[in-house]
Structure 1
């Protein structure tokens, strides 16, 4: 009976280890040269690590360890296969809003929902008769 229990525990541990190996985190880095907003939170310019967990692909983590800044955002996965690794920002005047993460092969490609703050910035820009939604692209490393 003890041998059977030991074998069962060994097999279970093997499955847990194999599952952890398959569920790899995906991470990219980018140098963002301007302040930007992610779901209502403004982040300073800096070097950011952007990633998600294979077990929670809709949760995007954006962090700048040097400045101690981090935010999590719920995203909408984009299954299309992007040809480039880029962050896409919507720009209204001097305000930037993270809109998309594009990765080669679509491993981490996603869209962020439009926040109330971005909708307000867009309306203000339109009201001032300025050009709306100049997309700004930042290369990922």
Structure 2
């Protein structure tokens, strides 16, 4: 019997990047099959997917998306599915470029983490 797909719905109030795909603000359905490492992010105007690593936690039970923020750029890093498991996205070349820019530009703000709870 195939494993159930984990799924969360979330409203993201800002544009964000998944791998190299920039998605607009809006409502998204984020899902991942338990058996594979692919995370799907689907909205009304588009979507993206990413190969991820599974993370398990006995203390984290809230469904949410976690973004790294660099200035006004947001990069999706984790999708917590509400069952103590998450999908962690590897650092993309886009995010490495943002980190490098922040390191080289003293006026640029550093990074911070932003969490958006599921609906």
TM-score normalised by the chain length of structure 1: 0.76
RMSD: 1.4
Residue in structure 1 matched with residue 67 of structure 2 by the alignment: 89
After TM superposition, the runs of 4+ consecutive aligned structure 1 residues lying more than 6 A away are none
Highest RCO, 1 vs 2 (Cα 8 Å, sep ≥ 6): 2
Q: Secondary structure at the match of 2:62?
A: coil
What is the deviation of 1:133? 1.3
Matched, 1:55 2:38: no
Aligned runs of 1:96-115 on 2, under 5 Å?
A: 96-107=74-85, 109-115=86-92
Stretches of structure 1 lacking an aligned partner (at least 5 in a row): 1-18
Q: Does 1:126 align with 2:103?
A: yes
Structure 2, unmatched stretches of 5+, are: none
Aligned to 2:17: 37
Cα deviation code 1:13-64 (max 9, x no counterpart): xxxxxx14xx2221110101111011111111110000012332x1100000
Deviations along 1:90-112, one digit per CA (max 9) or x if unpaired, are: 011111000111233324x1210
TM-score for both structures, normalised by structure 2: 0.89
Aligned residues: 117
